[in-house]
Amino acid sequence: MKILVINSGSSSIKYKFFDMPRNKLLTCGKIEHIGEEGSDIINHYTGLKLILGKIDSVDAVGHRVVHGAETFKKPVIVDDSVIKKIKQCCSIAPLHNPANLAGILACNKLLAGVKQVAVFDTAFHQTIPDYAYIYGLPYEFYTKFNIRKYGFHGTSHEYVAHEAAHILKKPIDKLKVITCHLGNGCSICAVDKGKSVDTSMGFTPLEGLVMGTRCGDVDPALITHIMRKKRLDMHEMDNLLNKASGLKGISGISNDMRILETKANSGDMRARLARDIFAYRIRKYIGAYITVMSGCDCLVFTGGIGENQATIRKKITKNLFNHFRKSPKILVIPTNEELMIAKQTFKLIKG
């Protein structure tokens, strides 16, 4: 079965085309500048048309959808009611879901009759218990406005946790795994017996670890304090937290960990500090998740930094498991969210 996996963003469509169940990548690519001034690609429909011109005989399509709220706990075959429900999730994911939906609607027109599956970044985390996902806010904020921890990168965490079980030759339901997805966006997940029981990102992908340009956990009282002090409006504050903070904000140099490593090694104090804060926050979360699961059999690193930067991994794991009788295995596993989406699409369609 030939499966087209689509990751549709606001101005781009990334795609990978697989032959399943052989897990064979046939081709992949990216269409950019959709809807931008001066671009010929006026919308997602035009973008998808270009992609379909490069491949043939699509049997099914798997879509990455960022937010499934509490509605979607697993992948689903797309129909009118699913489209309506994804639309309803747009209010809590205004930056992502409308773009994901644009990809689905373009496929509806251009590949009429071809089955489409939506795979949600949040779905894997729907097993997190209520005491871990409810914030210490008035409870009505959860019941009326759906404010709770959702978590993201779910497809990646699920994929690498299963790969770890495969590598260790152990059933996933016998393992306690901590997965660290460290890229430009970073999150960490406690996977107990194959189920997510806690994760660092929250209502949005801003919570948790220090990331490329996102601050991660801060004292919430800082938000109003900074807005008053710097006379920032909501949009400016949002920008500060999401785009000017994290590694970039601390170092004043870059959000690229490769550059920071080089600068830190040549004595730049703020680059060193950014790297140390990054590693320290991850160690703190790993410690918390060992406690949450009463143990850990395996720690997995993935994402651009997790896969490629051994010195950062060393910094995070130095003496980390000294108090363990048997040290957990530490694995580096390249993530492949698109393959996971293709696998889930195949599984759902084959029934």
Residues that bind ligand AMP (CB under 6 A): 183-184, 212, 256-258, 303-305, 308-309
The distance of closest approach from Cβ of residue 304 to ligand AMP in the complex, given in angstroms and rounded to an integer, is: 2
Alpha carbon of residue 183 to chain centroid: 9
The distance of closest approach from Cβ of residue 309 to ligand AMP in the complex, given in angstroms and rounded to an integer, is: 5
Determine whether 40 is an active site residue.
no
The distance of closest approach from Cβ of residue 69 to ligand AMP in the complex, given in angstroms and rounded to an integer, is: 24
**Among residues 8 and 126, whose Cβ is nearest to ligand AMP?**
8
**Among residues 88 and 311, whose Cβ is nearest to ligand AMP?**
311
**Among residues 309 and 336, whose Cβ is nearest to ligand AMP?**
309
**Among residues 115 and 275, whose Cβ is nearest to ligand AMP?**
275
The distance of closest approach from Cβ of residue 258 to ligand AMP in the complex, given in angstroms and rounded to an integer, is: 4
Catalytic pick among 79, 121, 192, 256: 121
The distance of closest approach from Cβ of residue 218 to ligand AMP in the complex, given in angstroms and rounded to an integer, is: 21
Q: Which residue is nearest to ligand AMP (CB)?
A: 304
> Catalytic residue positions?
121
